[in-house]
Amino acid sequence: MTAIDDSTVRDPDGLRADMVRALRDQDGIKSEPVAAAFAAVPRHQFAPEAPLELAYDLHRTVPVKKDEHGLDISVMSAAHLQAVMLEQAGIEPGMKVLEIGSGGVNAAYLQELVGPDGDVTTVDIDRDIIDRARLCLDNAGYTQVKTVVADGECGVPDGAPYDRIMVTAAAWDIPPSWISGLAEKGRLVVPLTVCGTTRSIAFDRDRDGLLSRSYSLAHFVPMQGEGAAEERKAMLRDGVALRTDDVRVPLNAQALDHALDTPRLERWSGAAYDLPDELELYLTLNLPSVARLHADKEVIERGLIEASARLGVPALVSEDSIAYRTRRENGDTGGFESGVVAHGPQAESLADEYVKLLRRWAHDHRRRGAATFRYLPGPAPSPLPRDAVRRRHGIVTATWR
């Protein structure tokens, strides 16, 4: 690791104080213990290759390792997301904590929060990452943190049970070891991905499995190893792809590509388009046959697909037709109205079904934090309940208040 000379830029102490202030202003930090942890840990020492400004940026990650395609497989997570998840975890002095997915800095925050009588173990599947984390932790004085190289899918049974397990890679499922590794009143904070969209969910143990107490939008590098996502991808044409992790969804690339050449049908909901991340979550978990539609800039600029698909949008798909969300300006309110674009022989019925859902969300559930998640381990019931998503080790359900 080569440290860069930042002596002409800002001093780290000043940047850190600014970061803590901004994290409080932006509702990342809500409690004094988390503020004290962020003020204490010399964050830049965990990203010695990065410019100081990047290390102390609230919303940007610091790249650590990429795969052969140039995609990030390890990053130092953004400070805001770390603060949100640490608040979700509700860590107290003396607790025993397991972090799955290492880097060093979050483990240092955890050590600050549990204090000298607590215990922090951090595990990563990648030896390079653990060696790097170990070096940074030791240099910054966090010698007490334990580092382990292993696939986090199996937890770290040696130290179990843990009061808190915090996962810092996007998980597609919750393996049995994470539940059995929790103390009776333990809490799991995990970025859980459903059909390409991820929420950091704080789960408490209950009689049947896990019950959520809060959730927040999150972006993470994907979990590797045994727990990696099961996902299908269909390229409809250059720059247009559909992805789904639901085995029941038909992904007929040829027929759906053909559908895109049929006239587009637009339907408008009359409902406001706002709280986009909450709406996206609702659509992803309530559309009966959902895939995520991605279109690149060029396809969008040609007008074939709406801009909503630039970062991925929940699409309702059948064998030969597709419908997805869009929006338009609402001259009366100054905001936006949500709507649907559909193509293919079943465009009308898919668009109607989609619009119904947009209206239901706007009418009944349009607020922050309206969903409650459950994770029920064990074999999936047959037939699968409509509000359930099947995983390898159990099912995820989401209900809206």
Which of 124, 246, 278, 280 contacts ligand SAM by CB under 6 A? 124
Please give the single-letter amino acid code of residue 322. I
CA angle 22, 171, 181 (to 5 degrees): 100
> Active-site residue 77, yes or no?
yes
CB of 125 to ligand SAM, least distance (A): 4
- Can residue 50 be called a binding residue for ligand SAM (CB under 6 A)? no
- Can residue 337 be called a binding residue for ligand SAM (CB under 6 A)? no
The secondary structure element, H or E, covering residue 303 is none
Instruction: Kindly state the tokens that stand for 184.
Output: 């009776």
Instruction: Kindly state the tokens that stand for 94.
Output: 């003396």
CB of 175 to ligand SAM, least distance (A): 9
Binders of ligand SAM in range 184-243 (CB under 6 A): 220-221, 223-225, 227
Binding segment toward ligand SAM, per CB under 6 A, in 71-79, 155-163, 172-180, 380-388? 71-79
Q: How far is CA 142 from CA 3, 105, 109, in A?
A: 20, 10, 10
Spacing of C-alpha 267 from chain mean position: 30
Contact string (CB under 6 A) for ligand SAM, positions 256-275, x = contact: --------------------
What is the rounded distance in angstroms from the CA atom of residue 82 to the CA atom of residue 66?
21
Contact 193, 171 (CB under 8 A): yes
Contact 218, 200 (CB under 8 A): yes
Contact 86, 113 (CB under 8 A): yes
- Can residue 283 be called a binding residue for ligand SAM (CB under 6 A)? no
- Can residue 244 be called a binding residue for ligand SAM (CB under 6 A)? no
CB of 147 to ligand SAM, least distance (A): 11
Annotated catalytic residue, options 7, 31, 77, 289? 77
CB of 282 to ligand SAM, least distance (A): 27
- Can residue 175 be called a binding residue for ligand SAM (CB under 6 A)? no
CB of 136 to ligand SAM, least distance (A): 9
- Can residue 76 be called a binding residue for ligand SAM (CB under 6 A)? yes
The secondary structure element, H or E, covering residue 347 is helix 347-360
CB-CB neighbours of 225 under 10 Å? 13
How many of the chain's residues bind ligand SAM (CB under 6 A)? 28
Closer by beta carbon to ligand SAM, 73 or else 279: 73
**Beta-bridge mates of residue 197:** 194
Which of 84, 89, 169, 218 contacts ligand SAM by CB under 6 A? 169
Contact 214, 370 (CB under 8 A): no
Strands of 119-124's sheet in order across: 146-149, 119-124, 96-100, 162-167, 182-194, 197-205, 210-217, 371-377, 394-400, 388-390
Closer by beta carbon to ligand SAM, 86 or else 291: 86
Name every residue whose Cβ is closer than 8 Å to that of residue 3 and which is 6 or more positions away in sequence. 48, 49
Q: Specify the 3-state DSSP secondary structure of 359.
A: helix
Closer by beta carbon to ligand SAM, 74 or else 121: 74
Closer by beta carbon to ligand SAM, 106 or else 338: 106
Report CA dihedral (37, 40, 46, 47) to the nearest 10 degrees. Answer: 100
Closer by beta carbon to ligand SAM, 169 or else 357: 169
Closer by beta carbon to ligand SAM, 79 or else 271: 79
Binders of ligand SAM in range 91-120 (CB under 6 A): 100-106
Binding segment toward ligand SAM, per CB under 6 A, in 146-154, 173-181, 249-257, 353-361? 146-154
- Can residue 155 be called a binding residue for ligand SAM (CB under 6 A)? no
Tell me the catalytic residues. Answer: 77
- For binding to ligand SAM (CB under 6 A), which residues are involved? 73-77, 100-106, 123-126, 129, 151-153, 168-169, 220-221, 223-225, 227
